[in-house]
Every structure is written in C-alpha cells, then in structure tokens.
C-alpha cells in the first residue's frame, strides 16, 4: 500500500502538477480545491498520511485548515506542510504539533519529495518511498 498524500490548493494547475509529481513518485493522492473541501473529505473517514496545503486560499487559509485538523482527535496526528509563494512569518503559521514546516514556491521537486520522505520515516510508515 502506498502512502496517501492530501493536496489542498485552489490553483488547479498546481493541484494537477503536484498530483502528477506525487503519483509518479510512488504516492497515492487525494486532492481538494480548498480547505472546506479538504475538511469534508476528512470527515468521510479518509485519513491521509500527510497533508500539503497552499497557504493563501479562499474560504479557509492553509494555516486555519491545519489548526482545524489538529482540533480533531482522530486527525491531529497527520503531519501537515504549507506550500507558499508568500514570505510567511511565525505569526502567520499554525502553532500546532501537526504542522511540520513550509515549502516555498517555486519549489524544487527533490525538496518536496525529500520533505515527504522524511515525514513518512518520522511517522513510521514502512520504508521510504523516494530516494532523493
């Protein structure tokens, strides 16, 4: 069974690009076009191994999505990473245990894959998926 990564981004092009990159590198992908849609998918008992969310989205920012996920006892263990093209300060970032960092846009594919691989190892999900 492959690790399941949830991608949350309101930019369809970015959502498609991330889906292709992750699928091609051994991940299953669950995509949501905004934070509300992501919470709806998670409420259906879908439990990804990692969540990657854009920071700036309509309806629910990525940081608020991560905080909402952490507030759910069944989901609070899922590590989450923010993708952002903005300069974020610690004031803008979630202060929760499930938040694992920021990947700046534009990003290098190897940086993204290494971050996911590290989180997979950290959370004890079998062996690594991608060797960067």
Mean pLDDT by 10 residues, the chain (132 residues): 94 97 96 96 91 93 96 94 82 88 92 94 61 38
Sequence length of the chain is 132
Domain ranges of the chain: 4-122
- What local confidence, expressed as pLDDT, does residue 59 receive? 86
Closest CA to 82 of 67, 71, 74: 67
What distance in Å separates the CA atoms of residue 33 and residue 53, rounded to the nearest whole number?
A: 10
Topology of domain 4-122, CATH? Rossmann fold (3.40.50)
- What local confidence, expressed as pLDDT, does residue 121 receive? 87
As given in the structure block, the two tokens for residue 81 are 């990473």
- What local confidence, expressed as pLDDT, does residue 91 receive? 64
Distance of CA 41 to the CA centre of its chain: 14
- Total-model pTM: 0.90
What distance in Å separates the CA atoms of residue 66 and residue 80, rounded to the nearest whole number?
A: 7
What distance in Å separates the CA atoms of residue 110 and residue 87, rounded to the nearest whole number?
A: 21
Classify residue 17 by its DSSP letter: H
- What local confidence, expressed as pLDDT, does residue 85 receive? 83
- What local confidence, expressed as pLDDT, does residue 123 receive? 79
- What local confidence, expressed as pLDDT, does residue 34 receive? 96
Task: Please name the helix (run of DSSP H) or strand (run of DSSP E) that holds residue 43, with its range, or none.
Answer: none
For 43, 58, 113, 117, 131, the CA distances from 21, given in Å and listed in that order, are: 26, 24, 9, 14, 14
């Amino acid at each position: 069974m492959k690790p399941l990564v949830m991608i949350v981004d309101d930019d369809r092009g970015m959502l498609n690009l991330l889906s292709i990159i992750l699928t091609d590198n051994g991940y299953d992908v669950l995509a949501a076009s905004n934070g509300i849609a992501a919470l709806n998918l998670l409420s259906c008992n879908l439990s990804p191994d990692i969540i990657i969310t854009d920071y700036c989205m309509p309806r629910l920012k990525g940081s608020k999505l991560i905080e909402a996920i952490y507030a759910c006892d069944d989901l609070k263990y899922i590590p989450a990473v923010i993708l952002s093209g903005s300069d974020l300060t610690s004031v803008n970032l979630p202060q929760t245990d499930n938040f694992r960092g920021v990947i700046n846009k534009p990003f290098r594919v190897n940086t993204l894959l290494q971050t996911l691989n590290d989180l997979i190892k950290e959370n004890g999900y079998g062996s690594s998926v991608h060797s960067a």
